[in-house]
Chains A and B, each alone.
Chain A
Amino acid sequence: MRNRLLGAALAAVLGLAVLPGAASAAGGGPKPPEREWSFQGIFGTFDRAALQRGYQVYREVCSACHSMRLMFYRNLTQIGMSEAAAKAEAANAFIEDGPDSEGEMFERPGKLSDRFVSPFPNDNAAKAANGGALPPDLSLIAKNQAAGPDYIAAVLTGYADPPEGMEMADNQNYNMYFSGHRIAMAPPLSDDLVEYADGTPATVDQMAVDVSHFLMFAAEPQLEDRHRLGVKVIIFLLVLTGLLYALKRKVWSGVH
């Protein structure tokens, strides 16, 4: 993730190889296995089908506990949903609005301009409903973990029996990739938990990968713009720099 190879190569060019970006994978647990993602690399783009499957997993599974406060329903048109489908999706949500002209708050169906509805009114309510543990907001989780989507997929598939002699409290589960290995979230995925509209078999691994893909989109919806513009800018700069070098040679040809 995060173009680690590219980053490392670039950093080496600048003699920055010892700097923190690479070394920031602090915390317990083994390194999450690296997966192939379509959005990696300089030409990387999101896989629309995977994004929609991932959104389905978020809506049907994760959104019971996890908010995504930075996402708007309008963002769904960016993952390949038609505007009508995105509007219908928004209309499923109930949004508290107001006050109206009588001074009363009221509920209305969601619109494209609304944020994703959070499952709990506030953090304390979320903690109270989850045995004291706060389910983190998922808007930026693909960026605030060093290994990004690799980490999300690893945690979602990393549940196992605790090793010999490791005592787990009531609401703790053993996870190979979670820092400290004790995670309050019970294994959220099981085979065929959701039914994909496109007929993809909903294995735990498939769902984990799809939702990680979607969460990467959520963390940086403009990633494709960045890649597209970047390729053009770099080509332009290479040509410009080449021309400037030729000009520099010409101007300096008389100086010895």
Chain B
Amino acid sequence: MAAPRFENPIVRWIDYRLPVFTFMHHEMHEYPTPKNLNYWWNFGSLAGFMLIVMIVTGIMLAMHYTPHVDHAFDSVERIRRDVPFGWLIQFIHMNGASFFFILVYIHIFRGLYYGSYKSPREILWILGVVILLLMMATAFMGYVLPWGQMSFWGATVITNLFSAIPLVGEHIVSWLWGGFAVDNPTLNRFYSLHYLLPFIIVGVVVLHVVALHTHGSNNPLGIEARGKQDSIPFHPYYTIKDMFGLGAFLTIFCLFVFFAPDYLGHPDNYVPANPLVTPPHIVPEWYFLPFYAILRAIPDKLLGVVAMFAAIAVLFILPWLDRSPVRSARFRPIYRQVFWLLVLDCLVLGYIGSQPAEGWYIHIGRLATIYYFAHFFVILPLLSVFERPRPLPLSIGEPVLGGGSPPPRGAGGTGAMERA
């Protein structure tokens, strides 16, 4: 960790007094990174980029938006129609929320597959779950701001969930609303918090990165880097790889922004909020659908709410539910299969969440909910005991160099996560 020698005298002068350049050199340049990271490791930095995009576009929108029940809807339309490039900023922000969740969900499943939550990265993982929760709160409140029909009724349904809390539930709901219904005070406080929470997310992201840089990235083999031959400096190797990933991501993102901006939204939100007309079918945004399915799978309101929050809370204790010492699913033949079952289960829950709660959908939703919790509370603890992992390579460098014991399938940065 010797301080680098800077050529520029001004940089040297500043660095002697405030070592920001040394810090950046350590953390962004020479920061040793496993050399076998595949493209699934791009999603963390992509999510960070998206957070900045959301904050910048959000600040610009806030300059034109009016948080009042009589003007909110029209002010959003005014941004789309009359503010120069307002349509672009608004569509980036609106679709950006969806893509932020796509990136973060992929990032989370990557962590699940490669066991990135295991020692010594438990706090790194927990901070990630905190970020997810903050993102959900932010996205939920942001969706209310355009004050369309789904904004209003989504807010009504979700805030009403708190009335399930025994004794104090009704009081909590009135307190959340700032009145006796979702109304102007609700919109105002949601706007205020929607502006605040992203900066709190930035703070937790900083902690997330500090925790990451303490022990470095996990890698597809799930074994620790053992020396210089296993690691490469972050710059230029991962800066350029992240830049390429960013270009590919932005291409897909912009296809939606420019050519299908409303695809991920709901048409009802182009109808101004009307407390007297309930839409026939209230659905949350797609990224909440799996949790919405879990909520509705349980006949009891309070237990449904508990289950919904438990579905996320279980991630906090995941490092202690999965006791297997092996991180990467590459060397866990059974875990690799149940991982893909969990992915499938989440997709099924998402689909069920988008459908009306009737007929077979209810049964499928209940089965999928049971499986979701069984994965964490039954399958993972049992696997920790009964699964026989395949032998681990001695080091990251070894299989990549092709020497020693036979390398596991697809070793090296081939970019493809192995199929089960």
Q: Is the CB of A233 within 8 A of B254?
A: yes
Q: How far is the CA of A240 from the CA of B248 in the complex (A)?
A: 9
Q: Is the interface of A mostly helix, strand, loop or mixed?
A: helix
Write out the residue numbers on chain B whose beta carbons fall within 8 Å of the beta carbon of A23: 354-355
| B378 contacts the other chain (CB 8 A) | no
- Closest chain-B Cβ to A51's Cβ sits at a distance in Å of 16
Partner of A230, one of B74, B259, B280, B354: B259
Q: Is the CB of B263 within 8 A of A11?
A: yes
Q: Which of A1-18 contact B (CB under 8 A)?
A: 2-3, 6-7, 10-11, 13-16, 18
Write out the residue numbers on chain B whose beta carbons fall within 8 Å of the beta carbon of A219: 270
- Closest chain-A Cβ to B106's Cβ sits at a distance in Å of 9
Q: How far is the CA of A237 from the CA of B401 in the complex (A)?
A: 35
Partner of B81, one of A11, A19, A222, A229: A222
A221-233 vs B, CB cutoff 8 Å, 1 = contact: the mask equals 1100111011101
| A105 contacts the other chain (CB 8 A) | no
Q: How far is the CA of A255 from the CA of B232 in the complex (A)?
A: 9
| B35 contacts the other chain (CB 8 A) | yes
| A183 contacts the other chain (CB 8 A) | no
Q: Is the CB of A18 within 8 A of B354?
A: yes
Q: Is the CB of A229 within 8 A of B102?
A: no
Given contacts A2-B262, A42-B259, A226-B258, contact A241 B355 (CB under 8 A): no
Q: Is the CB of A251 within 8 A of B268?
A: no
Q: Is the CB of A229 within 8 A of B258?
A: yes
* Chain B, interface residues (CB within 8 Å), range: 35 or more
Write out the residue numbers on chain B whose beta carbons fall within 8 Å of the beta carbon of A153: none
Partner of A248, one of B88, B241, B270: B241
Q: How far is the CA of A16 from the CA of B237 in the complex (A)?
A: 31
Interface-lining segment among A94-102, A138-146, A154-162, A192-200: A138-146
| A244 contacts the other chain (CB 8 A) | yes
| B347 contacts the other chain (CB 8 A) | yes
Q: How far is the CA of A226 from the CA of B90 in the complex (A)?
A: 12
Q: How far is the CA of A19 from the CA of B256 in the complex (A)?
A: 14
Q: Is the CB of B263 within 8 A of A21?
A: yes
Interface-lining segment among B6-14, B64-72, B281-289, B311-319: B281-289
| B80 contacts the other chain (CB 8 A) | yes
- Closest chain-A Cβ to B364's Cβ sits at a distance in Å of 13
- The residue of chain A having its C-beta at the shortest distance from the C-beta of B279 within the complex is A26
Write out the residue numbers on chain A whose beta carbons fall within 8 Å of the beta carbon of B257: 230
| A84 contacts the other chain (CB 8 A) | no
Q: Is the CB of B256 within 8 A of A248?
A: no
Q: Which residues of A are at the interface with B, using a C-beta cutoff of 8 A?
A: 2-3, 6-7, 10-11, 13-16, 18-21, 23-24, 26-27, 42, 70, 139-140, 143-146, 179, 219-222, 225-227, 229-231, 233-234, 237-238, 240-241, 244-245, 247-248, 251-252, 255-256
Closest 8 CB pairs of A and B: A230-B258, A241-B247, A144-B270, A7-B263, A7-B260, A244-B244, A143-B270, A18-B351
